[in-house]
Amino acid sequence: MTFALLLFTFCLAAGLTHYFASPQARLNLLDTPNARSLHTRPTPVTGGIAIFTSLAVNSLIAAFLFNLPAQPLLWIAISTLLVASVSLIDDWRTLSPLRRLGVHFLAAYLLLAHGNLWITEIQIAGQLWHLPSVLQILGSLLFVVWWINLYNFMDGMDGFAGGMAVFGFGSLAILGTLAGNSLFVGLNLLIVAATLGFLIFNFPPARIFMGDTGSSSLGLLAAALSLWGSQSGIFPLWIALLIFSPFIVDATVTLARRAWQGEKIWLAHRSHYYQRLVQLGWGHKRTVLTEYVLMAACSASALFALNLPMQWQWIILLAWVGIYAGLIWGVHRLINKKS
């Protein structure tokens, strides 16, 4: 992937984001603040269109210039287009959760079946477990659909989802470089460049949000590229999960807690840990910069752990379990002191 193409991807995304953030934009979808919002004024949610358009245009240019193979790029593109389309409709006029989930499962099936990305085994720090056929199908579908939705759940703070994309896909690009897979590297770098073009307008205080169109599409891409990297032998899947763990842990623990308390988990809320920090008075900038430090630490430890002996990989994993437990305890302690 040439630097010129990456620069054009960044500039196109930045230009489109700047246009969509202006009052003169023909397409002006706004997120109006409500009781569950962290922002206080109506804000455009069309940043995801800028990311997706720049990524699509430059992926086509790359495919033409470098004669890229169809697999698995074609089905990643089709699945992302499906998710982006239903998300754009949802940004425009709210759809029911069941309709969105139906399209998410369809996109996941097309990605997995035609991209040949089924999860057939689980490998963690040198240990390998083969999955029965039923779990391969069900687990793979739920993995992709959960990724689509968790990324959407976590897109509730200025600069947060964009930052996770830069750290996450940037780390996958480094892993692809170490493995010598230029195609994998190129796609990840295109995503990073497109997201950076958006992020300069989304960093606190945000002038524009990426909306469901951006967050759900990035979630699908995170799942797809994690599976692609794992299936291609670039890294075991747990490495990608560690890289994206700042999103995975917050979203999963919050969902489990709300389900345990009998809440309607499909409704919007403000009980994610990053949202609680903002409400505690940290504000968007301090919270997102703290999260960036966490993202950088997760990425660095994942890259470092890749070639370590098995016992050290387990030590790193267990250390992160302890770190996240401590962080969750720390947030609850701050809440209790505030109340």
Q: What is the band of 128 on the pLDDT scale with cuts at 50, 70, 90?
A: confident
In the chain, what are the domain boundaries? 3-117+130-338
pTM reported for the whole predicted model: 0.94
Average pLDDT of the segment spanning 237-241: 96
Q: Is the peptide bond before 205 cis (omega within 30 degrees of 0)?
A: yes
Yes or no: say if 38 and 157 are a contact pair by the CB < 8 Å rule. yes
pLDDT, average across residues 27-34 = 73
Instruction: Report CA Rg, the chain.
Output: 19
DSSP per-residue letters across 49-61:
HHHHHHHHHHHHH
How far apart are the C-alpha atoms of 286 and 274, rounded to whole Å?
A: 11
Residue 71 pLDDT greater than 80, yes or no? no
Instruction: Give the C-alpha separation, 317 to 310, whole Å.
Output: 11
Rounded Cα gap, residues 168 and 88, in angstroms: 24
Whether the CB-CB separation of 301 and 321 falls below 8 Å is answered with no
Q: How far apart are CA 203 and CA 285, in angstroms?
A: 8
CB of 79 closer than 8 Å to CB of 110: yes
The pLDDT score that the predictor gives to residue 36 is: 62
What is the DSSP secondary-structure string of 291-327? HHHHHHHHHHHHHHHTTS-HHHHHHHHHHHHHHHHHH
Quick one: average pLDDT of 226-236? Answer: 95
- 3-state SS assignment for residue 128: strand
